[in-house]
Structure 1
Amino acid sequence: MKHPIKAIIALLLRLYFGYDFLTAGIGKWKSGFDAKAVSGFLKGGLAQTHDALLASKGAAAAAHANVTDTWGWLISHVFLPNAGIFSVVVKSGEVLIGLGLILGCFTTLASFFALAMNFTFLLTGTVSTNPQMAIGFLILIAMGAASYEIGLDRFFMKKLIAKCPRLGKGWLRTPFPIEQ
């Protein structure tokens, strides 16, 4: 192991966040998380846009909107019409991210998708633990190959890069890190 301290820190972050994502995803599958739930969440985000706040609470509240108009447009025109698809994507994504992080399988890709999911929740006006998680996932991504020294990636990442050398070059080197 080339980076034992970094590897242990990465393992602890992976296990903590992986458990959080896995249990959230399983909970959504068990609870019947569906298009109605996604629509409710998204409509809550729309209520935090400038125009919605201006109409409901006045100019003072609208000056401090939590959701940008651009994101509100995406919610209205992309996410809400496809709420059923996004309900499956969210709960499946949380389970897959959780498993990937816990097992150390495609660790940096799981971290990237978890980061994207956290930013999506933040952009929709939900703070919760998302900022702390985003920082944790940025740390995992920045650790590169050390983030998978303790996990399944350790056994097959070099073989994968050897079979597909393009994965280890350019910008793809970030999600598929290997030690030189």
Structure 2
Amino acid sequence: MKAMETMWTRADRWRRSCGLDDNDMRRDVDRVQWRLGVLLLMVFLCAAPPLSAHAVRSVHESGVRKERYEAATLERVEATIVKVGEAEGRRRVTVSWTAKDGTPRTGDYTTWRGAEVGDRLIVWAGGGTVTNRPPRGHTQTVVLAASAGTGAALAAGLPPLGLYALLRRRCDRRRYRLWDAEWARFDSRHIGP
């Protein structure tokens, strides 16, 4: 029973703090700020889901295409490092391997990792490229799509948030002017004998 009272008390406190009451002490500027804030929140809630859904769908479809392309074109090969050079603070590694048809192949890729001539390592080759990272997995696609959706929601939220900040600043100035006028009127009254 006590938990239920506490819940209703909190809900009522939240309702009053949002301005959903008939408080005579609220000024028109308070009501205007609250209504425009709710309007901007509604704009965000109407804009963010479709924008996020579009971003997620686009990034996911692109990622799935890249997954399929890399799975179809890249093959895992065991290669030997034949040359290591420096390129803009990174290592330019040349590797050689034997293709499935028995022809010798070479290719270059850039890496941060240490590499020595003669080391044997696993690389992925195909489509005229060589890389030391495996083909893209579905997990990476899902993470990138979720990140894009979150970024789109944040981007959709920035303009309404900025407008609300400007609105609040303007309403605060008006509120302070009204407050100062009330104090001046109160001070001008004669109190006492």
* TM-score past 0.5 threshold: no
> TM-score normalized by structure 2?
0.28
Determine which structure has the larger strand proportion and give its number: 2
| TM-score, with structure 1 as normaliser | 0.29
